[in-house]
Amino acid sequence: MLPPTLPPFRRYGVSARAARLRARLGERDLAVLGSLAQLRLLTGSQIQRLHIADGSATTRARRTRAVLQRLTDLSVVVRLARRIGGIRAGSEGTVYGLTGLGQAVLGIDGVHGGRRRTVWTTKPAFQDHVLAIGNLCVRLTELSRENAVELLAFDAEPACWRRFPGSGGQPITLKPDAYVCLGIGEFEHRE
C-alpha cells in the first residue's frame, strides 16, 4: 500500500517551499519581509513609508495594499486582528507580522535550531510598544532620505540586547528597546 499523497510543502519540506517562494518574490517584497523580521510588527502605513515612497498618495496606498495582499496570500505575512486608528484607518491601520514561512523565506533559523517564532495576537500594550519602536525606525529612515541625518544602524529588540559580565562575574543582559547610530555632520551619535 502506498502512503497517502502529501501536499508539496509537506513532501519536500518547508525549505523547498520557502526556496520556491523566495524565487517568486521581488526586491521590494523581500525588503518588506526584512523589515518585519527586524521590527516584529508594522502597520500598513509604516510599511508604505518605509518601502513605497514614490508616486502620489493614492498610488502609494494602492501599491502598498497590493504588496501586502500578495504577501498575505502567499502566507509569508499575517494580518493581526487589531487595527491602529480604528475601522476608519483602513488597510493603513492594519498590523502585520512575519509568519514562520516568511522567516524560512528569509533563511531565519528558529531558536536553537527549533521551530521558528510565529506571530500571534498579543496584548495591546505590547503591540503599541513594538509599533512605537517601528515608528522610530520609520521616522529616522525618512530623515535619512531627506539628508537631515545619516542612519548608520538601527537594531530593535532582541538584536539590540547586549551581554556583559556583572560585578560578580555573572552574565548580565542589558535589554534596551532599540540601538540607534546616527551620523550627524562629522560625528556619530549612538543611543
What rounded mean pLDDT belongs to the chain? Answer: 84
pLDDT digits (tens, 9 = 90+) for 113-124: 445 566 666 788
Establish if 114 belongs to a structural domain: yes
| Domain count within the chain | 1
Give the Å distances, CA to CA, from 163 to 27, 113, 125, 154, 160. 34, 21, 26, 18, 10
Establish if 141 belongs to a structural domain: no
pLDDT for 7: 39
Establish if 2 belongs to a structural domain: no
pLDDT digits (tens, 9 = 90+) for 97-113: 999 899 999 988 654 44
CA neighbor of 22 nearest in space, from 132, 101, 127: 101
Establish if 133 belongs to a structural domain: no
Separation CA 74–CA 102 (nearest Å): 9
What are the grid coordinates assigned to 191, written together? Answer: 543611543
Establish if 74 belongs to a structural domain: yes
Q: Give the CATH number of the domain where residue 71 resides.
A: 1.10.10.10
Establish if 63 belongs to a structural domain: yes
Task: State the pTM of this model.
Answer: 0.81
Q: What are phi and psi of 153, to 5 degrees?
A: -160, 145
- All residue ranges of the chain with pLDDT < 70 are 1-14, 82-92, 109-121
Convert 39-92 into a string of H (helix), E (strand) and C (coil): HCEEEHHHHHHHHCCCCCHHHHHHHHHHHHHHHHHCCCEEEEEEECCCHHHHHH
Establish if 108 belongs to a structural domain: yes
Where in the sequence is the domain holding 22, given as residue range(s)?
Answer: 8-123
